[in-house]
Structure 1
Amino acid sequence: MITSSANGKVKQVMNLIKKAKARNDSGLFVAEGLRIFKEIPPELIDSVFVSESFLKEAEQRRLVSGLKHEVLTDEVFSAMSDTRSPQGILALVKQRSYTTEDLIRAPGPAFLLILETIQDPGNLGTIIRAGEGAGITGVLMNSTTADIYNPKVIRSTMGSVFRVPFAYTSDLTASILQLKERGIQLYAAHLDGRNNYEKEDYTVDTGFLIGNEANGLSEDIAKLADAYIKIPMMGRVESLNAAVAASVLMFETARQRREQSLLKK
């Protein structure tokens, strides 16, 4: 049993929680909590840490019985944890690697989100979780978007991070041009939008450009869209949170594709 927060393995976990460089160098990230632990594909689990109290429940003992795991005192686990109320289990998980090609390889029309400098981890996690619910085929992000392996992002995805393909690009413009060459229609929510968002056809290969929370899309990236669309507002609201706007567009796409599928039957 690990009884000190000075233990090397505990220090490794704490470093992975705090530093993106440590995550990048090791190819590992931290997934903490009972629900998300159950979502981890077994082949991606590198190591498991549990608290003394966690093992008092028979069902929880069974959950880790076939896995090599480290047991920590409750105090040490709490010191290591990134949450206010630790549930007593976390895993170090192997990172996955995707290419832009992986994002458009799914059967059926492509359905992508292209994110420019989304900085809030909660927003990024929410976008990925909502994206899985809407059926997106992938997420493309520029290098200044938040680290998807940040523990706050991982928690916000509620497991979707293990199922939604994603890729970072150091040259967002070049990657977007690559998508356009493949015939993917790109839309940007914009004040100069030609149509309300529900007037466009998203049943074909489609991608949505979503910009930074404070500044929106940069002018250069926005110009790459095939069309500007707008989400009409009532009251004094001028714009929506990036995750909310992305969700509106994604679920309209999902609705259109469901209707098209029903018409084909």
Structure 2
Amino acid sequence: MKKLNSEIKIVENVIEGRNAVIEALKGNTTIENIMISKGEKKGSINLILALAREKGITIKEIDKRKLDQISQTGTHQGVIARITPYKYCNVSDIMEYANYKNENPFIIILDEIEDPHNFGAIIRTAEVCGVHGIIIPSRRNVGVTPTVYKASAGAVEYMKIAKVSNINNTINYLKDKGLWIYGADMNGENYCFDENLSGSVAIVIGSEGKGISKLTKERCDVLIKIPMRGQVNSLNASVAGGILMYEVYKQKIKRELK
């Protein structure tokens, strides 16, 4: 067990890829050092070096084969940053952030998303759509790993992510705070475009294979679906999440313009 915990710590303590490292340098992440492949001095690597020097961060030039061994994604692009462990926030922090921005809370709840690429893509879209925070379960859900960080194109830097022990209790908490809970389900009662999503909302997105769990579905106020045409009757979790997030964003903009 001790060995497993140690491995998880290492995985969550590095950022890989040029864009992801640049966003980390621009943000508030505590970077211990940056490793670059020997001889890499072209393109965006120069920006990384300049930002690192400006912040007084140690730069280490190492052999590319060593970077390959450290890499968790296999696509480090010649740069890996060692950071302090990712700091998850509390659900109350997400609510306070929405209040600080004087906006209706807009939250994404992930129910056992295990694919890091899907999680990263969801974070990236959430940041673009003005989501105040993402809630994930502490078990059976991928955390913020190098692959997630890279897939998000650095959007992790700007997104509050809370890890909770019980999703259903959290949903009850959000309901008490006035949020309407919508579950994404292919057999939902209503199409997402027909629902009023402009208020205080949380969208629940289920796992890639099983969707939203039975108990969590029962906690949702409404199950909504996306209109689809064709032979394939389901969407990738990050694609479905993206469509729903943009629908919420669109409705919020329309409401603000009235």
TM range (shorter): 0.7 to 0.9
Q: Distance in 1 between matches of 2:4 and 2:245?
A: 29
Quick one: structure 1 residues 145 and 250, their matched pair in 2 at CA, closer, same or farther if it must change by over 3 Å? farther
% same residue:
29
Indicate how the Cα distance of structure 1 residues 249 and 143 shifts in structure 2: closer, same or farther if over 3 A, else same: same
1:206 to 180, 201, 206: 201
1:35 and 2:42 aligned: no
Partner of 2:217: 222
Partner of 2:32: 46
Cα contact 1:121–1:146 (8 A) shared by 2: no
The residue that corresponds to 1:182 in the other structure is: 177
Task: Find out whether 1:70 has 2:60 as its counterpart.
Answer: yes
CA distance in 2, matches of 1:172, 1:183: 17
CA distance in 1, matches of 2:91, 2:201: 14
The 3 A distance-change label for structure 1 pair 118 and 171 is same
Task: Give 1:59's aligned residue.
Answer: 46
2:32 touches 2:57 (CA, 8 Å); kept in 1? no
Distance 1:43 1:145, change over 3 A: same
Cα distance between partner residues in 2 of 1:197 and 1:56:
46
Could you tell me how far apart the structure 2 residues matched to 1:36 and 1:125 are? 11
Residues 17, 75 of structure 2: 8 Å contact kept: no
Which of 73, 90, 94 aligns to 2:80? It is 90
Distance 2:167 2:249 in 1: 25
| Inter-CA distance 111–56: structure 2 relative to 1 (3 Å threshold) | closer
* Runs of 4+, deviation exceeding 6 Å: none
Unaligned regions of 5+ residues in structure 2, if any? none
- Shift, 1:52, TM fit: 1.6
2:70 pairs, out of 57, 67, 80, with: 80
Q: Distance in 1 between matches of 2:69 and 2:113?
A: 30
Residues 69 and 231 (structure 1 numbering): CA distance in 2 closer, same or farther, change over 3 Å?
Answer: same
1:101 maps to a residue whose letter is S
Match of 1:11? none
Question: How far apart in 2 are the matches of 1:20 and 1:199?
Answer: 47
- Give RMSD over aligned pairs: 2.3
- Tell me which residue corresponds to 1:4: none
Stretch moving more, 25-34 or 149-158: 25-34
Equivalent positions of 1:67-146 (< 5 A) are 67-84=57-74, 86-94=76-84, 95-105=86-96, 106=98, 107=101, 108-146=103-141
Task: Give the count of matched residue pairs.
Answer: 245
Identify if the C-alpha distance between structure 1 residues 222 and 76 changes in structure 2 by more than 3 Å, giving closer, same or farther: same
State the Cα distance separating 1:116 from its structure 2 match.
0.7
Distance 1:110 1:51 in 2: 43
Whole-Å separation in 2 of the counterparts to 1:37 and 1:49: 11
In the TM superposition, residue 87 of structure 1 has moved relative to its aligned partner by 2.5
Tell me by how many angstroms 1:92 deviates. Answer: 1.2
Consecutive unaligned residues of structure 1, counting only runs of 5 or more, are 1-18
Q: 1:74 to 1:227 in 2, by over 3 A?
A: closer
CA contact (8 A) 2:192 2:225 kept: yes
1:140 is matched by which residue type in structure 2?
I
**TM value normalised by structure 1:** 0.84
1:133 CA drift (Å): 1.1
Q: Check the 8 A contact 2:122/2:242 in 1, yes or no.
A: yes
Q: Does 1:232 align with 2:220?
A: no
